Chains A and B, each alone.
Chain A
Amino acid sequence: MLKKFMALTLAVIFVLSAFAACSGGTEGGNEAFGSSGTKELAKSGVVSTVASEVTEGTKKDLKIGVVLIGDNTETYSKAHIDGIRSACQNLGIDPDNSEQVIWKMTIGEDAACTSALDDLVAQGCNLIITNSYGHQTYTQAAAEKYKDKDIQFIAMTGDTALSSGLSNLSNAFTEVYQARYVSGVVAGMKIKELADAGKLTDKNKDADGNIKLGYVGAYPFAEVVSGYTAFYLGVKSVVDNVVMDVFYTFSWHDSDAEAEAAKSFISDGCVVISQHADSEGAPMAVQNAYNEGTVVYSVSYNVDLTGIGDAILTSATNNWVVYYEYAIKTAMNGGKIATNWIGGYAQDAVKITALGKQAAEGTEAKVNSVIADIKSGKLHVFDTSKFTVGGKNVTWAFASDTNGDFVNDTNNVISDGYYHESYTQSAPSFTLRIDGITELNNNDN
């Protein structure tokens, strides 16, 4: 009996630890795909302007609940945490006082999200934020369940607030594709410098003499497609003869897979490798190759990684404090938070981080002029004269999916010579696969 008991106990311990190990890692995520959006909106123009003017109602005491896919150790969630903390401090709320802000960290995109939301409601929170795209169905269900209570829910990066018809649910996203375009300009300047100095070899070029780029993407969603296309067009605005390969890791955070993808790009001769994934795997791999004398540079995402070394040129990033300050202030004033909020360079909601030491001469001036053009509306990232699909210029593209079949079906959002990104909803909608970019492993398209 003792032996059986010990065997069982050991087996249980083994099982528990194995299970803890495999259930511990949750995939962070903020992907976006088409949904919601209405024809009226498509006709009427941009979904929601950035409400710098905060709507007024009866002022009230706010208790904020925050549900995060990760924690301070993961760049995506850290950016949100920093944004919320700064916004709170700017508005006189103490983010460390659990009577004012309750943080729920490392909450997966599963029933744990429902439990966390229930608990926040039970604790009396009246502004509840979830930060991952995969949280949104749970957030929406909670908004439905508690619609009689005076609580506003925000599903960050989500896309169903409008179609849900719930007045207590909002979505928000930044126009981070603008920052990706600018980070592409930084990469383009470097490539131009390398080409002019004769440092690029045949290995760095394809059979037609185009210079090779690599991009490590998380998933083949609109958010990622929009991002890498913007990056590519940014590079192309400086150096015309470039081609780019995209490799998907099917995870938001998989250090090993991202590093492996980067190594494969490096051995293939890619000169700049960028990413839409949340680990430092790819930049580290690039830096290691750089240290061994390979001509390769990295443009990263979310946070400043220039500390890794000289191979890091810059990162595209969101400045979440802009939105969080808007949303919290609106809620404090008893107003209604915009159902779809969007903000880009014009609102200071996106930016690139400090330039690395190896950034080319004149990059800073070039970057500033590009940003000024984006702000003034002179430059549009998805300018249809700058790219082709199947060899042709595009004049028609659907923006979003209104019936949930993952096929975009709202009105044409190409007008005035450019694709209107984030037009019928705050989440990105750009899913055109443009010439010059090759998806290496997307089986869905």
Chain B
Amino acid sequence: MKNEKTREPLLRLAKRDTVSPARAVAVRAAAIALALLFCGIFFVCVTDSSITDVYAAMISGTFRSSITVNTFFKEACMLLIIAVGLAPAFKMSFWNIGAQGQVLAGGMAAAMWLFYLGNNLPNAVILPLMFVSAAVGGGIWALIPAVFRVKFTTNETLFTLMMNYIAIQLIKFLRITWSPIHALGMISRKSGTLPALFGNANALIYVIAALAVILMYVYMNKTKHGYEISVIGEAPNTARYAGISEFRVIIRTAFISGAVCGIAGFLYVSAIDHTISETMGGGYGFTAVIVAWLAKFNPIFMTLISMLISFVRTGSSEIVSRNTTTLDSSIANINIGIFLFFMLGCEFFLNYKVVFRGGKETGK
């Protein structure tokens, strides 16, 4: 395909041949190590600590007490649940970047029950209602772009993105409706709080996250639905030829994807935030996009990456706490940014290589 008349560029990108699994794992491990190293170096630059102090602080900040350990697992689980929700949509090449909006929509649906009937219904009634409404709410939020995609071939990336902003505005509207003085804090009701299990208030979050991972793995790998998803994702024409209804599968999968994100919204309302706000989920709807993509929808990798990101977050928060006069809480986001940058970079270079002028495109 090379055009002889144009000058060959100094650098260009070429698709790599398949990389051996062992090599791929080694490259990824190296990227994680490099990412953590850079996070450490970053902290050494902005604080007076040595690099060993930085890592010691990050580890102790995460594992020092039951409070910090629970925070670490809670954050990892929430990120994981959203990533799990995104996985089937991505596998189907349905680029759902509306997870944030689906979390908010689910949260709003759950919060409605809490706000209006939290004093009248017992937990055994209201929690299932909140759970189901949240799943349906999140599902509908993903369903709308899916319908438009199959009916009018709209771009689902933009559509799901815009749905996020609609959800944000609806949340703002509800907050003002529910608190005429513009001061909606925690919604304090007699019921509607997820009960503690074995004395741990977060235990049910862990259980739901584990169930979500297992069920989604089985759904995607062991069922006919899962097979249909991968066929449509990889070869839509084959799917059509094989008589798979694109309409049905896309609609169904988008709904399931949104529903899982909606369940994350339910957990925020019933177990974590106890209210709704635009900041619900702290932007995990977007971080999860990268988690799901990086992990190639593999549940074990999704779990590992979620835990690593949670560790970077809690560890960074500890460093900030020790240097509060010079650092502020947004440092954690910078570090997660560094981490994701390395991860995405690593994936890129596993798939492509840089070829210098005159170099060969093939070969190792």
Contact = CB atoms under 8 A, between A and B. Distances in A.
A173 to B, nearest CB: 15
A105 B328 contact: yes
B286 A15 contact: yes
A375 B273 CA distance: 44
A406 B185 contact: no
B153 to A, nearest CB: 15
Interface string B141-179: 000000000000000011001001000100000000000
Nearest to A71: B328
Given A7-B157, A12-B97, A98 B321 contact: yes
Contact of B279 (A8, A108, A123): A108
A20 interface: yes
Interface in A114-129: 114-116, 118-119, 121-123
A107 B277 CA distance: 14
Interface in B251-265: none
Interface in B263-294: 268, 272-275, 277-280, 282-283, 286, 289-290, 293
A105 B344 contact: no
A20 B180 contact: no
Contact of A141 (B13, B274, B279): B274
Interface in A25-84: 29, 31, 33, 71
Interface of A is mostly: helix
Contacts of B113: none
B67 A31 contact: no
B64 interface: yes
Contact of B188 (A9, A110, A137): A137
Contact of B322 (A33, A98, A136): A98
B268 A119 contact: no
B95 interface: yes
Contacts of B120: none
A250 interface: yes
A23 B283 contact: yes
B321 A8 contact: no
Given A15-B161, A16-B283, A33-B181, A98 B323 contact: yes
Contacts of A140: 186
A95 B324 CA distance: 10
Contact of B95 (A8, A104, A219): A8
B71 interface: yes
Interface residues of B, number: 50
Given A7-B157, A111-B268, A406-B180, A12 B286 contact: yes
Contacts, number: 131
- The winner among A110, A136, A140 for most chain B CB atoms within 10 A is A110
A4 B234 CA distance: 13
Interface string A218-238: 011100000000000000000
B162 to A, nearest CB: 10
A12 B289 contact: yes
Nearest to A10: B157
A2 B351 CA distance: 9
A256 interface: no
Contacts of A109: 183, 185, 277
A98 B318 CA distance: 11
A119 to B, nearest CB: 6
Interface in A176-227: 219-221
Given A11-B95, A11-B157, A12-B290, A118 B324 contact: no
Interface in A404-445: 406, 444
A133 B183 contact: yes
B283 A137 contact: no
Contact of A16 (B71, B286, B322, B328): B286
Contacts of A137: 185-186, 188, 275
Contacts of B50: none
A29 B325 contact: no
Contacts of A379: none
A91 interface: no
B224 interface: no
| Most central of A7, A9, A96, A115 by chain B CB within 10 Å | A115
A11 B274 CA distance: 31
B161 A11 contact: yes
A250 B275 CA distance: 20
B183 to A, nearest CB: 6
Contacts of B317: 119
A98 B279 contact: no
A103 B325 contact: yes
Interface in A231-268: 250
Contact of B352 (A2, A111, A122): A2
B324 A141 contact: no
A405 to B, nearest CB: 11
Interface in B284-308: 286, 289-290, 293
B277 A110 contact: yes
A23 B186 CA distance: 19
B310 to A, nearest CB: 12
A367 interface: no
B68 interface: yes
Contacts of B5: none
A443 to B, nearest CB: 9
A444 B182 CA distance: 11
Nearest to A251: B182
Contacts of A15: 97, 161, 164, 286
B362 interface: no
A111 B286 contact: no
A31 B180 CA distance: 13
A110 B275 contact: yes
Given A98-B321, A122-B68, A110 B279 contact: yes
Interface of B: 13, 15, 64-65, 67-68, 71, 93, 95, 97, 100, 157-158, 161, 164, 168, 180-183, 185-186, 188, 268, 272-275, 277-280, 282-283, 286, 289-290, 293, 317, 321-325, 328-330, 333, 344, 352
Interface of A: 2, 4, 7-9, 11-12, 15-16, 19-20, 22-23, 29, 31, 33, 71, 95-96, 98, 101-112, 114-116, 118-119, 121-123, 133-138, 140-141, 219-221, 250, 406, 444
Q: Which 8 A-B pairs have CB atoms at the shortest separation, nearest pair first? A: A137-B185, A103-B324, A122-B67, A137-B186, A111-B273, A110-B277, A98-B322, A110-B279
9 contacts: A31-B183, A33-B183, A105-B329, A108-B277, A108-B279, A111-B282, A114-B272, A136-B185, A406-B181
Given A11-B97, A141-B274, A219-B181, 6 more contacts: A11-B157, A16-B283, A19-B283, A23-B283, A105-B328, A118-B67
